[in-house]
Amino acid sequence: MGFISRGFKGRREPAADSSRLPPGQYLVRDFPVLSAGPTPHTPLAEWSFTITGAVDADKTWSWEEFRKLPSETVTKDIHCVTKWTKLDTSWTGVAVSTLLEGIDTSADYVVAFSDGGYTTNLPLEDLVDGKAWVAYEFDGRPLEPEHGGPARLLVPHLYFWKSAKWVRGLSLRNEDEPGFWESNGYHLYGDPWREQRYWGD
């Protein structure tokens, strides 16, 4: 006697779904805010998104133009290097493949850059084929500034520091160049399933 059956708790806790939890991570239900600096508040009239670097010609969209691009809504699990994982987050945005359409490049790498100076590096192949978006809605509402609004990169298969908030563009590179956290000890690639948190992992 004295046991409390888990069945009495009603709805099954997502904690039960450990197959979706990468090694060393724990589940959260809230949405923590992690920013290395103050939250920028760029007016939409001044906002633009640019593909630059190793390209024949830069490509730039205003906010209005960007919002007319075909969008997708996706549901993804996100994993922060500080060990929280949030399941089933819903985002709407433009697939990076859509932004790269018609761009001719020999580059294999990308540095995403943001208002406030944040950068993060990724292999180009991790941004295409339905693996990454520039998201402007979370849970069906405009993305809040604290979480990267008006728009942030979303690369859910890598640790969440790769999902640059307040993203303003992608610079294509022929070599892999560490971004902000990668220059400060975080792993160059950052696969949560291989627990690539820091240099040497």
Q: Which residues bind ligand MTE (CB under 6 A)?
A: 31-36, 80, 114, 116, 118, 147-148, 160-161, 163-166
Contact 110, 121 (CB under 8 A): yes
Q: Which is nearer to Mo ion, 136 or 161 (CB)?
A: 161
Q: Which is nearer to ligand MTE, 73 or 174 (CB)?
A: 73
Q: 3-class SS at 154?
A: strand
Query: Which residue, judged by CB position, is nearest to ligand MTE in the bound state?
Result: 118
The site partner of 22 among Mo ion, ligand MTE, none (C-beta below 5 to 8 Å per kind) is none
Kindly report the backbone phi and psi dihedral angles of residue 53, in degrees, each rounded to the nearest multiple of 5, phi listed first: 90, -130
Q: Does residue number 155 form part of the binding site for Mo ion (CB under 5 A)?
A: no
Pairing verdict, β 48-53 and 59-62: antiparallel
The site partner of 166 among ligand MTE, Mo ion, none (C-beta below 5 to 8 Å per kind) is ligand MTE
Half-sphere exposure at residue 60, Cβ-oriented, CA atoms within 13 angstroms = 9
DSSP state at residue 80: -
Q: Which is nearer to ligand MTE, 15 or 33 (CB)?
A: 33
Contact 189, 195 (CB under 8 A): no
Among 54, 81, 96, 124, binds Mo ion (CB under 5 A): 81
Tokens 């046991």 belong to: 3
- Output the smallest distance, CB 67 to Mo ion, in A: 28
Query: Tokens for 110?
Result: 């990308």
- Output the smallest distance, CB 190 to Mo ion, in A: 10
- Output the smallest distance, CB 182 to Mo ion, in A: 12
Nearest to 170 by CA among 50, 23, 33: 50
Positions touching Mo ion (CB under 5 A) are 34, 80-81, 161
